[in-house]
Structure 1
Amino acid sequence: MDKPVMPGADDAMPVRSPEAAALLAELEQLRATILHDAAPLLARFEARAGGAHPALTNLAHYLVLRHHDIRPLQRRLMRLGLSSLGRAESRVMPTLDAVIAALHALAGKTCLTAAPDEQSFFAGEMRLNQATDTLFGAPRPHRRNRIMVTLPSQAAQDADLVMALARAGMDVARINCAHDDAQGWRAMVGNVRKAGLAVGRDLQVLMDIAGPKLRTEAVICDPADARLFPGARFRLVAHGAPHTGDGIAVAAGVSAPEIVTRLRVGDRVSYDDGKIGGIVEHAEDGEAVIRVVRARPKGSRIKPEKGLNCPDTSLGLAPLTAKDEADIATVIACADMVGYSFVSRPEDIDLLDAALARYPRADAPLGLVAKIERPDAVKNLPDLIARAMPRGPFGVMIARGDLAAELGFERMAEMQEEILWICEAAGVPVIWATQVLEGLVKDGVPSRGEMTDAAMAARAECVMLNKGPAIGEAVALLDRLLGRMEDHAFKKTPTLRALTAW
């Protein structure tokens, strides 16, 4: 019996698609435009880095690509079963070349350039994996994401606590140099090294130098429990004792006078990660009066030692303080990487390197983690990456608390995505930080929103937990959660493992 003939199953020549031909012309023009427009950007990056680097080439291509709105183009590509370019972060030109080769075939034309092979197509992905391993050490068998834990002061005396964290899944121990002292830090590092030997893993140590403190100091309230609501005012004082009066019931000193002396009328001020938001109403003679525009429903109190953010104000503060420069001697001797607060410009990396050069290091180079916490750091991120790339292991921390206070909470979710994309394009590992599983860490019970946030954090290379009474339980939960998410997604690409719930 003759086999049935399916429509289109004869020996006819391939159908030449007019739509494919049109798309091919559009993609080839886009490719040429990217190469042309990226040239000056790439020259700037290479000048910063002191030479060429494939990751910087891809970063320049990605930035130019993202200056085009290609959404209509994406839909037309999807309909033909082709890549929509939506996962081109680590491979801009390989993705374009692969799609162009496929369009040549659909259009019935000869492609003079071969489609990229598997190795060259995934080279950017490999660069990111290698950079992550170099900075954070080898991954666990069941997850690529690392878990970083901020050690409490008791970790200096309580070796069992550090051991429990290592057994639960900690990969990197973070020491906040704003607290404790060199003797305590050395004891913490010693306990981390011992725990690493015991569990058979090379645990890494990040020492986070404090940078300039933008905080409240002495606070005076009249009455003593005064709470601030929208419409109320409070006073910040650059020098001397804070004082109330003139209809103002709350006043505070500040850790750096520039927080007050550089404020101008209309500038925004945020207190304690946005618990209070205000606008400068009056500023002169070393004092500033801030009118509250946002506070908690039951009111908010101003307390000492809480953070201040001034997103509209150029404070002119150097990212390294005298304390930081003294602490660097211990960091060099003990840590695998240094966390750099307040970094905003490429020149800030030169400043740190000059301080580090005073304490030569014989073994592996000290890794650098740039904390992105101010609008200037976001704006200058590509140039920061270019400047840091030749110096050794490098990563970026999205300091979401300060960044949300600086950019505004509405933009934070959007901006953390963009930082992830830029860093992936450059092959730079990212730490997702601030209030991850905070309810679980502090109270032993996570919220649904925190669990979703932690799952979304799997797109970063490392997730940071803060210290708290239930930190061990949080590490163990995050270890399991990240392991499960590993099966579902890589960065922003869903991976379709078999489902078992249906």
Structure 2
Amino acid sequence: MRRNRKVKILATLGPASSEEAMIQKLHEAGADLFRINMSHASHDIMRTLIQRIRAVEAKSGRPIGILADLQGPKLRVGKFANTKVMLKPGQTFTLDNNQEPGDENRVFLPHPEILEAVKPGHRLLIDDGKLALKAVESDGTRIVCTVVSGTSISDRKGVSLPDTLLSVGVLTDKDRADLDAVLATDDVDWVALSFVQRPEDLSEVRKIARGRVGIMSKIEKPQALERIDEIIELSDAVMVARGDLGVEMPLEAVPGIQKQLTRACRRAGKPVVVATQMLESMISAPVPTRAEVSDVSIAVFEGADAIMLSAESASGDYPVEAVSMMASIAQTVEKDPYYPNIIYAQRATPEATGADAISLASRQIAETLKLSAIVTYTSSGTTGLRAARERPQVPIIALSPIIKTARRLSVVWGLHCVVTHDATDLDDMVNRACRIVVSEGFGKPGDRIIISAGVPLGTPGATNMIRIAYIGADGQTGI
């Protein structure tokens, strides 16, 4: 199954897409990897979904990635005596540690870390920003606020803190239990970490995971932007989670932040996923709005590694159509005459390493000689990432003897991953590459390809050789 696009599609599974037959339809429509949202999925549901994804993978013969998205800390107010109260801008309203039901003057806040961290002048946004409060007094047991905007508050509404850095980590007890369950399956490729604020937030999950899954940091807090380079460096991938980011940041700032994060990740050679409300109207309509099509196009033009569907594929009425539409938009953008100039203008300067130099040379040679494909042998996935970082015009085929590596690379821009045995010698390396290029539909006898690998063969992280080869007349050997 060859995709006619470079950007990958990440589809969320849910009530509308949990059956194996539907997962297969989504994969055939264009989904390259699937997201399991642990906010809604029990451990039993997670294991069932994994089994069904792997069954689809076996039928398709293509490695499929799985992302488990941890819920993260959900900060909410307590309950009210009458479920809901009405407020007026300018009035005083208090959040405190009193567990009694709330009224029009106060409500219980079951998060002592917030009571301790909020300072006068900090903003508190309730219910996705529908109610905005500003702290005027805080003593560790209560926060006295002024209502800035909004007219009501009701039971268990969420609290966002755009100005406050919380001292607690991002893993809750639920997240630790979910992470243990995910790792126990030994079949999940990525874990998304919600509400990352600082590099230190990655420490605990890294210690628990011990390299068994890739760590994807979700950027949805303003505090994360202050140390974004450090967070990117310590992450295996990044998700631009525009939903919560748009609550805690001015909405008009989100497009610029998306561009900054996409380019920063490209410079670092880390996969970046753009997510949230990309085709939101397709939850209930068979076609998207023009604005949504433009939104998806911008992410593709910027060179994002992957674009994500949330409720559109998880609980919407048109999950297959949403994936098909996203794939169609991506294919059309990548054929646009302006696309190469836009995406290549952002190309990062290679680092002073052998792997980067080889990747740069492979791209330049492939584009200059108009070769059919770049073939890279990769065990750990690093060589594949470096090849994709160059954003070449020709296809990249990543050959790996490790199925977990191929699945993890399914989120990476432009990589067509194939699981194959390590080459036994240089002749086998060339012949195997030529054979796979032909069988996967990327070339034909007489075409030329470029191959990068490490010598001695099979040595992880030792990419130090490139070879140009003609595909032989039999399509099985190289010259």
- 1:418 CA drift (Å): 1.1
Aligned to 1:375: 222
1:484 counterpart = 2:332: yes
Residue identity in the other structure for 2:288? P
Distance 1:231 1:397, change over 3 A: same
Question: For residues 425 and 408 of structure 1, what CA distance do their matches in structure 2 show?
Answer: 26
Query: Following superposition of structure 1 onto structure 2, how do residues 209-228 of structure 1 map, counting pairs within 5 Å?
Result: 209-221=70-82, 226=85
Distance 1:180 1:255, change over 3 A: farther
Aligned to 2:475: none
Aligned to 2:102: 243
Question: For residues 292 and 80 of structure 2, what CA distance do their matches in structure 1 show?
Answer: 32
Distance 1:231 1:444, change over 3 A: farther
- 1:146 CA drift (Å): 1.1
Equivalent of residue 251 in structure 2, options 406, 409, 416: 409
Point out where structure 1 has 5 or more consecutive residues left out of the alignment: 1-138, 389-393, 498-502
Equivalent of residue 319 in structure 1, options 170, 184, 197: 170
Question: For residues 279 and 81 of structure 2, what CA distance do their matches in structure 1 show?
Answer: 33
Distance 1:166 1:252, change over 3 A: farther
Residue identity in the other structure for 2:180? A
Aligned to 1:178: 39
Count of equivalent residues: 336
Aligned to 2:122: 267
Query: Following superposition of structure 1 onto structure 2, how do residues 23-422 of structure 1 map, counting pairs within 5 Å?
Result: 140-153=2-15, 155-156=17-18, 158-221=19-82, 226=85, 230-231=89-90, 234-245=93-104, 248=105, 252-254=107-109, 256-284=111-139, 286-295=141-150, 301-332=152-183, 333=185, 334-357=187-210, 365-388=212-235, 394-422=236-264
Q: Is the 8 A contact 1:217 1:253 kept in 2?
A: yes
Q: Cα deviations across residues 250-285 of structure 1 (Å, max 9, x unaligned)?
A: x55445332334322321112333333332244456
- 1:473 CA drift (Å): 2.0
Q: Cα deviations across residues 413-466 of structure 1 (Å, max 9, x unaligned)?
A: 221111112111111111101111112124545333222212112131111111
Question: For residues 238 and 466 of structure 1, what CA distance do their matches in structure 2 show?
Answer: 35
- 1:228 CA drift (Å): 5.2
TM-score normalized by structure 2?
0.63
Alignment root-mean-square deviation, CA: 2.9
Question: For residues 85 and 341 of structure 2, what CA distance do their matches in structure 1 show?
Answer: 46
Equivalent of residue 434 in structure 1, options 272, 276, 279: 276
- 1:239 CA drift (Å): 4.5
Aligned to 1:462: 306
Aligned to 2:289: 447
More helix by share: 1
Distance 1:481 1:216, change over 3 A: farther
Question: For residues 341 and 102 of structure 2, what CA distance do their matches in structure 1 show?
Answer: 51
Aligned to 2:372: none
Residue identity in the other structure for 2:123? R
Q: Is the 8 A contact 1:441 1:473 kept in 2?
A: no
Question: For residues 494 and 294 of structure 1, what CA distance do their matches in structure 2 show?
Answer: 44
Q: Cα deviations across residues 144-180 of structure 1 (Å, max 9, x unaligned)?
A: 1111122115655x22332232222111211121223
Question: For residues 288 and 302 of structure 1, what CA distance do their matches in structure 2 show?
Answer: 16
Aligned to 2:321: 473
Q: Is the 8 A contact 1:264 1:280 kept in 2?
A: yes
Distance 1:271 1:145, change over 3 A: farther
- 1:474 CA drift (Å): 1.4
TM-score normalized by structure 1?
0.61
Distance 1:443 1:235, change over 3 A: farther
Larger CA deviation: 184-193 vs 344-353: 344-353
Rg larger for: 1
Distance 1:270 1:167, change over 3 A: same
Question: For residues 140 and 380 of structure 1, what CA distance do their matches in structure 2 show?
Answer: 38
Residue identity in the other structure for 1:432? V
Q: Is the 8 A contact 1:220 1:252 kept in 2?
A: no
- 1:329 CA drift (Å): 2.2
Q: Secondary structure at the match of 2:101?
A: coil
Point out where structure 2 has 5 or more consecutive residues left out of the alignment: 346-392, 394-479
Q: Secondary structure at the match of 2:79?
A: strand
Q: Secondary structure at the match of 1:431?
A: strand
Q: Report sequence identity in percent.
A: 31
Question: For residues 441 and 204 of structure 1, what CA distance do their matches in structure 2 show?
Answer: 24
Residue identity in the other structure for 2:197? S
Equivalent of residue 493 in structure 1, options 329, 337, 343: 343
Q: Is the 8 A contact 1:153 1:180 kept in 2?
A: no
More strand by share: 2
Residue identity in the other structure for 2:69? D
Residue identity in the other structure for 2:310? N
Q: Is the 8 A contact 2:80 2:103 kept in 1?
A: no
